[in-house]
Structure 1
Amino acid sequence: MELKNIFKDEDAVSPVIGVILMVAITVILAAVIGAFVLGIGGSQEQVPQATFNYDSTAYASNVMVDISHQGGGDIDSNNLDVKIGSSTVWDSGAIGSSPNGWSENTTDTTSGWKGGTVSAGSTVSVQKPKASVSSGTSITIVWTTSSGDSSNIISEGEISI
């Protein structure tokens, strides 16, 4: 076989590569479209949009922090955690307990976060001995998906006493 004949006999290479690429693109498109049609791509929970107000009051022996839902969407309280500094001070499982030295103000009749929906106007109050709280400490509200797969910070503030 001559070397010249090898180079002359490449007429079918380009069409074969073209067909292979077209088949590959078609298969990929079919897989992507099928995933969305069959729901394999899945839908994700939307992060709630809400506005919160933080009101801190220093008393003789303790600091009271009122966290109020001011507006936006309703939120399932089972999906919320409130952190002050690095400590979780409120979550749906901490009701009535004293997580990290914080306790829920049980005399606050406006507390509307106890198992259910957090909606505009509802407030939760937590308190801690005054000596262990300082002005400027961060307050963070964290929302977690129902499946627990991901979480997002939906509001931030700070203690001002």
Structure 2
Amino acid sequence: MELRTLLTDDRAVSPVIGVILMVAITVILAAVIGTFVLGLGQDVQSTPSASFDFDFNSSNNNVTVVHTGGDSLVEGDNAQDVNVTTSTTTSDWFANETDISAGDSQSANFSSGDTVRVVWTGTSGESSAVLAEQDAPA
């Protein structure tokens, strides 16, 4: 057999590549399935969907934030913390109640031009989101 024939013969390349691809796909599938079986895919907490209204009282620089609908926020269940924040204050909504549902309200002081936010923190403490925000009147 000639050396030139051995170097140009590529008949066995396709089966080798096929085997390598099948092994790679099997390893990837095992990793994905193993992740969910071990519960690593369950750590993601979705942000609740809730609506809020802001009632600004400029005479005493007080804002009242009212939960108007959507998901209830329950301490320890779907929320670790819910705060009403301005540039000068942070008001812990769970200090007064542990279940925030439609009709519940929280007050905070504000300064002219502040942005008032309702900030949610998930039960793990690793995720947070601004559920609502509004600028105070100037």
Matched, 1:83 2:77: no
1:120 corresponds in structure 2 to 102
**5+ residue gaps, structure 2:** none
**5+ residue gaps, structure 1:** 96-113
1:53 corresponds in structure 2 to 53
- How many matched pairs? 134
State the TM-score, normalizing by the size of structure 1: 0.71
SS at match of 1:41: helix
From 137, 141, 146, the equivalent of 2:114 is: 137
SS at match of 1:81: strand
Structure 1 segments, 4+ long, off by >6 Å, are none
Matched, 1:68 2:66: yes
Matched, 1:153 2:134: no
Deviation track 1:56-89 (CA, whole Å, cap 9, x = no partner) reads 1123xx312111111111113542121113x442
Alignment RMSD: 2.3
Task: Report if the CA contact (8 A) 1:82-1:142 is conserved.
Answer: yes
1:103-118 → structure 2 map (5 Å cutoff): 114-118=96-100
**Cα distance change on mapping 1:72 and 1:92 into 2, 3 Å:** closer
Deviation track 1:112-154 (CA, whole Å, cap 9, x = no partner) reads xx130111111112236xxxx21x3211111111111111111
**Cα distance change on mapping 1:58 and 1:92 into 2, 3 Å:** closer
CA deviation after TM superposition for structure 1 residue 35, in Å: 2.0
Q: 1: distance between equivalents of 2:38 and 2:123?
A: 22
Q: 1: distance between equivalents of 2:49 and 2:56?
A: 23
2:24 corresponds in structure 1 to 24
Task: Report if the CA contact (8 A) 1:65-1:125 is conserved.
Answer: yes
1:107 corresponds in structure 2 to none
Deviation track 1:29-49 (CA, whole Å, cap 9, x = no partner) reads 122123223422224222111
Q: 2: distance between equivalents of 1:9 and 1:39?
A: 49
Q: 1: distance between equivalents of 2:101 and 2:83?
A: 15
